[in-house]
Amino acid sequence: MLVECLNSYFADSPLRYCEDARGMNIGELDQYDLVKTHDFGLRKKRPLKWLREFPKKSGLSYLVMVRDPIRSAMSDFELLEKKELKRPGTRQEWDSYAPQAIDYRKAFFKKWLPSQLSSNMTAVSYENFLADPLGELLRILENAFLLKEIDRAKAETIFSWKDISERRDYSSFKFYDEEQIRGLRSRISSEVERVNEHHKLNLPM
């Protein structure tokens, strides 16, 4: 959704965009204006020291976008069914997948959202973007893309035709289980509380 909005804003000079940075050397980033990565390497067990040493490169800006870890895990499981399993997943597979997915997001928060962000990092949440899409887009253009002059009218035009809203009701997830969700939230609650406090991301508790 955000990438679509950015592409609309930069339509006169399209962004050189890379959808997946897996396997890319950091030196290759210069050929793109925007590179997306989920940092799936964090799924592997790494020392905490390594988690804090996120990559930095002079002249690059980092836009860190996060969302409700539970909804994100549900969405990723459905992608897993579609792209890897190529069949409907089972409840047993979801029960095994969910805790690992939450632990990955916990590691992601620790790595990319330290209590004090570097000057070349901008944090945004899906929830805040839905609540104030224009304000968040303007903030991203200023802080992440370092634009000195922003065409507010152009940005406003994007949202005059583009629907910015939650695209689904996650209670319809086929393995939706309130008790399990409470357990998963407790697994990451301290990290969510921390990033909400320091970065005002308004992630669900």
Q: Which domains does the chain have, with CATH numbers?
A: 2-199 (3.40.50)
Q: What is the pLDDT of residues 15-61, one digit of tens each?
A: 888 887 776 666 777 788 888 888 877 877 655 554 444 455 667 78
The pLDDT profile of the chain, 205 residues, written as one tens digit per residue, is 888 999 999 988 888 888 877 766 667 777 888 888 888 778 776 555 544 444 556 677 889 999 999 999 999 999 999 999 999 999 999 999 999 999 999 999 988 898 888 888 899 999 999 999 999 999 999 999 989 999 999 999 998 888 888 777 889 999 999 999 999 999 999 999 999 999 999 999 7
Distance CA 200, CA 51 (A): 22
Burial 75-93 (b: 16+ CB within 10 A, else e): bbbeebbeeeeeeebeeee
Token readout for 186 is 């407790």
Question: What's this model's pTM, rounded to 2 decimal places?
Answer: 0.86
